[in-house]
Amino acid sequence: MDRLTSFELFVRIVDRGSFSAAAASLGISRPVATATIQTLEKRLGARLLHRTTRHVRPSAEGEAFYQRCRAILADVEDAERNVGGTVAGIVRIDIAGRLARATLLPALPAFLARHPQLTVYLGEGERFVDLVREGVDCVVRAGALSDSDMIARPLGTMEEVTCASPAYLAAHGTPTTPEDLLDERAGHQAIGFVSSRTGQVLPLEFRQEGRTREVLLPARLLVNGADSYAAAARLGLGLLQAPRHGLAGDLASGALIEVLADYRPVPTPLSLLYPSQRQVPARVRLVMDWIAATLASTT
């Protein structure tokens, strides 16, 4: 194995915390990966990795070497791009499925046509993703961000709407203020959306008199996926509150009807997250710029 490939193998082992996963990503066997790292350590005269039966982590020397290898590999990729004028390789993105289908997917054919040697891996996720360990280059996330060592790039905001089906409104009445939701005679209920971050049902939010008010209604159905959330609302199982872009078709067809439009919550911020302490390859920068431009024009 040549020196540059051994650097890439080492970086992938550190990123994934696993010899087996790194070897598989390069199409080599684990014994070959092990022998390559042993040869690299012998040539450098330093222990690069601490290995146990369950974990692999870099030594102090390995962490410094890891940072240098990342920079070297990014420089090589940039050099090849500047000479050939093309960007090649795979970029792994993680984004909520409904947001991807409403915004990125329609723009993807033209983008890939402009960059024929680029491959995009689109993961539809609403769960927490360990970017480094799972080999994901960047993620798009909605809402307030928790403290982390990720770099956050703001992408704008999404308008949220509160909706219900015609059948639901016929049975429970159309609320005109948030207080109407608490009228026991109407028997309003929500479809409970369970946060992947906290495991708790998210309350409905309303902007009222310059303040945000939360209302947690009874829920006989709990879901943790956006598609099930919308499908349940169409069936009349309760109120939902979600980004407008994902419900545009239902609103246009009348399958769902917006209520409490004068009390919409504060628009939800969108962010693009990617690992810090890392040289960003040209192909990843290109895709992140495209994501930012696409979402800016569609959300």
Domain boundary pick from 83, 104, 134:
83
| H or E stretch at 223 | strand 222-223
pLDDT tier for residue 85 given thresholds of 50, 70 and 90 = low
pLDDT of residue 196: 75
pLDDT of residue 84: 55
Residues 146 and 282 in one domain: yes
The pTM of the full predicted model, rounded to 2 decimals, is: 0.65
Distance from C-alpha of 276 to C-alpha of 251, rounded to nearest angstrom:
40
Residues 178 and 236 in one domain: yes
| pLDDT tens string 104-132 | 999 999 999 999 989 999 988 655 555 55
pLDDT value at 250 more than 90: yes
Residues 256 and 181 in one domain: yes
Question: What's the CATH number where 95 sits?
Answer: 3.40.190.10
Residues 165 and 219 in one domain: yes
Averaged pLDDT of the chain: 88
- Beta bridge mates, 142: 270
pLDDT higher at 17 or 169: 169
pLDDT of residue 13: 92
Nearest to 44 by CA among 20, 61, 21, 27: 61
- Beta bridge mates, 117: none
Report the 10 Å Cβ neighbour count for 136.
21
pLDDT tier for residue 291 given thresholds of 50, 70 and 90 = very high
pLDDT value at 160 more than 90: yes
Distance from C-alpha of 252 to C-alpha of 12, rounded to nearest angstrom:
47
Helix (H, G, I), strand (E, B) or coil at 278: coil
Q: Is the CB of residue 217 less than 8 Å from the CB of residue 162?
A: no
Residues 218 and 262 in one domain: yes
Contacts 24+ apart (CB under 8 A), 141-146: 141/270, 141/271, 141/273, 142/96, 142/99, 142/243, 142/268, 142/269, 142/270, 142/271, 143/268, 143/269, 144/269, 145/271, 145/273, 146/197
pLDDT of residue 130: 57
| pLDDT tens string 167-220 | 999 999 999 999 999 999 999 999 999 987 788 999 999 998 889 999 999 999
pLDDT of residue 62: 92
Domain boundary pick from 51, 83, 115:
83
Domain boundary pick from 22, 57, 83:
83
Residues 165 and 259 in one domain: yes
Residues 77 and 198 in one domain: no
Question: What's the CATH number where 10 sits?
Answer: 1.10.10.10
Residues 58 and 93 in one domain: no
Residue-number span of the structural domain to which 217 is assigned: 160-266
Residues 177 and 129 in one domain: no
Structural domain total, the chain = 3
pLDDT tier for residue 251 given thresholds of 50, 70 and 90 = very high
